[in-house]
Amino acid sequence: MSKTSPAHQHIGIVYNPEKERARQESFRLKRWLKQRRVKSHSSVRVTPAMRQCRFVVALGGDGTVLRVARDVAAWNVPVLGVNVGRLGFLAATELPAMYRTLSRVLAGQGRQESRTLLSVRGVVRGKSFGPSLALNDCVVRSGPTGRVIQLQATIRDRLLAHYIGDGLIVSTPTGSTAYNLAASGPIVYPDLDVLLLSPICPHTLAQRPLVLPTFEIISVEVVRPSPAALLCLDGEVVHSLSSGDRIEIRRADEQVQLLMDPDRTYYQVLQSKLHWGGS
């Protein structure tokens, strides 16, 4: 990340209002930036003024980073996540090390990573929606009853498979360590240009996760006589689905720019957050 003189910097701060510590730290951060002649704008959500920011600091958990990243993706504004939550897998730094990391980023020493987004559109009860963006995943899953659902997946209008079970996950490499991992999908290095399709508790041992190229277009249809299903983007329920409803997932034209600590590798994040590779 190139160095910019302090007089020409403007930093956005978005904090999770449900986390008191995040709110308090946003005030401290504004004072810290002001002492360094860096302008800042703080809010509980992304605002139009942040379009001109050098980058946006997301104070909260992974949910806050996901929300901010989606909102600024079209502006190509980088996001620096600060973990004030439990896991913080997408965060560049933990709260105790925030000012050290920010000092390095402001000095032009940050590492910037481009992350794939999903573009999701579809037809629900005869009405079109989208496109909507997701950084982690798009999930079609069983509804409140918990009954199994039947789904038909096609790739560019050619049948891939029929799935009977709890649902399907289409995820990005960034989202490979989220719901995809819990469903026994693979961990994928975030720079790889692929999509992942993982069934959730399929009623056959023959159906396993697939790694697909990003030029593919995946369609998922709820097949009769399935009960109601749910469409979730990055963990948020966005639609209730009925038989005949159809969802289309592809790689988005936009990408998310994440700022990361230059001293911490992806493998170190796996080790510290998921205890991966431990004895």
Residues forming the active site: 62
Cα distance between residue 187 and residue 266, in whole Å: 11
Cα distance between residue 92 and residue 76, in whole Å: 18
Residue for token pair 């559109």: 121
SS3 content of the chain, % helix, strand, coil (to 5): 25, 40, 35
Strand partners, 199: 168
Cα distance between residue 107 and residue 75, in whole Å: 22
Looking at this protein, which amino acid is placed at residue 70? R
Cα of first residue to Cα of last residue in the chain, in angstroms, is 36
User: How far is C-alpha 140 from the geometric centre of its chain's CA atoms?
Assistant: 16
Q: In this structure, what are the phi and psi dihedrals at residue 141, rounded to the nearest 5 degrees?
A: -135, 165
